[in-house]
Amino acid sequence: MTSVQPNADSIRDLFDRIAPVYDDLNQSLSLGLHRVWKQMAVRWSGAQPGMTCLDLCCGSGDLALLLARQVGPQGQVTGADFAVAQLAIARQRAAQQRLRQIDWIEADALALPFETAQFEAATMGYGLRNLTDIPQGLTELCRVLKPGATAAVLDFHQPQQVWIQQFQQWYLQAVVVPAAERCGLTEEYAYIGPSVERFPNGSEQVALAQQVGFANAVHYPLLGGMMGVLVATK
């Protein structure tokens, strides 16, 4: 396991490579629970019918699709990611589900091609941890939100209790990596453990959110603290 932080190009290539298996692996490795956490994130984002929303680091589109259902046909959702293979799958899924109110945009989360104060709610699922500059990602997220709008940022989290921490490490090593290995993607999934170790904990995320301009921020731990949602309002 390496603790060297990958650069943006290698992160983008990695997500392009895993795109074909990403959804199935996610579903089986989380026993389907990631869908529940994503629904919670959409709820915590405060998205309502008719709103204009952003799903940052949208990947294959899970959260953007949920947001689109939440805002309805009068609303508008933008799914943004820099991995084109993930966006291609997201586009396909939206077409299959006849959700026309989503724009899929190739974009770098660290330099978003959106106007300031454009969105009324935002989600980000398992994206913040992968950014090479987390404060800059939060700065951009805050910039594109309207005053009073909320972002719900779902990600892995390092649990405080030692036995849960050990369980998480065991799970990543003994379940996630071998499952990825069966798909020929060992290296691609081995990055998760070190990335969780590097990732700011809940109170550090709250402090960062406040530093970049969010007026309120709370971090809600999920699953014994192995996951968490940062809910930040501008």
Q: Which residues bind ligand SAM (CB under 6 A)?
A: 8, 11-12, 15, 57-59, 62-63, 81-83, 86, 108-110, 125-127, 130-131
Rounded distance, CA 73 to CA 56, Å? 20
Rounded distance, CA 5 to CA 3, Å? 6
Residue 127: both structure tokens together: 């994206």
**CB 76, min distance to ligand SAM, A:** 18
In the complex with ligand SAM, which residue's Cβ is closer, 187 or 216? 187
Return the closest-CA partner of residue 89 out of 64, 124, 52, 126.
64
How far is residue 84 from each of residues 61, 158, 167, measured CA to CA in Å? 12, 30, 34
**CB 163, min distance to ligand SAM, A:** 26
**CB 47, min distance to ligand SAM, A:** 15
**CB 179, min distance to ligand SAM, A:** 15
In the complex with ligand SAM, which residue's Cβ is closer, 108 or 181? 108
**CB 6, min distance to ligand SAM, A:** 10
In the complex with ligand SAM, which residue's Cβ is closer, 7 or 166? 7
- The answer to whether the beta carbons of residues 155 and 183 sit under 8 Å apart is no
In the complex with ligand SAM, which residue's Cβ is closer, 68 or 109? 109
Give me the sheet containing 102-106, strands edge to edge.
102-106, 76-81, 52-56, 119-125, 145-156, 227-233, 216-222
Return the closest-CA partner of residue 125 out of 190, 182, 62.
62
Q: How many CA atoms lie within 13 A of 103 on its CB side?
A: 10
**CB 192, min distance to ligand SAM, A:** 9
How far is residue 126 from each of residues 38, 50, 196, 226, measured CA to CA in Å? 10, 26, 10, 13
In the complex with ligand SAM, which residue's Cβ is closer, 153 or 162? 153
In the complex with ligand SAM, which residue's Cβ is closer, 131 or 149? 131
* Residue in the shown chain whose Cβ atom is closest to ligand SAM: 59
3-state secondary structure (DSSP) of residue 48:
coil
